[in-house]
Amino acid sequence: MTASKGKETLSDFQKTCLNVLIVVGSGLLCLLLSPMRFPGIELLGVSPNWLLIWVVIWSIHHPIFDSAIAGIVLGLLQDGLTGPFPTHALSLAIIGMLTARLQRQRIIQENVVLIAFIVFGMAVVAATVIALQMSARHLLWPDSPYLSLWQIWRIHQRVALSSAILSSLWTPALYYPLHRWWKR
């Protein structure tokens, strides 16, 4: 370590290790928060989609391929916690690619309100992708563990809107610390 104006700086290796620790730690924290239901942050039995928020924030700062991989990895981890059929991996990969594509076209600016709107829209897209997967599974396999088509799409409306509202409201809680870290 070298001294610069009374402050110690980190070596490149230490910065890389710290960055990996922040990325993995924040992703795992969001993964652990996903199944938890805290009083006061639920709406109609739905909690914020923490992993979706994380993937959107990640995708703003990284290329499309990296964003898709992050979405797939976190989606598979979430699927491991929630059910026998992988439904979140595809939706989070699509969210990562769409958000990174918006960033490449310079549509996204460094504004938390705009990021919250993007999270709102992406939460609806993610819920729709999951509902489409459940519908396809129900149509293709008669012994599907999912509900009937009518029930899937009736519940989809409630889940999509509740998740979108809560996720967009909780976006600043993740956006500010992660954005500040990744802009360094």
Domain ranges for the chain, please list them: 10-182
pTM: 0.84
pLDDT in tens, 80-136: 888 777 788 999 999 999 998 888 777 666 788 888 999 999 999 999 998 898 888
> So what's the pLDDT on residue 92?
93
Q: Which residue has the higher pLDDT, 89 or 147?
A: 89
Q: Does domain 10-182 have CATH number 1.10.1760.20?
A: yes
Buried (b) or exposed (e) across 43-63, using 16+ Cβ within 10 A?
eeebbbbbbbbbbbbbbbebe
Ramachandran region, residue 5 (left: φ > 0; alpha: ψ -120 to 50; beta: rest): left
pLDDT in tens, 18-56: 888 988 988 888 888 887 777 777 777 788 888 999 999
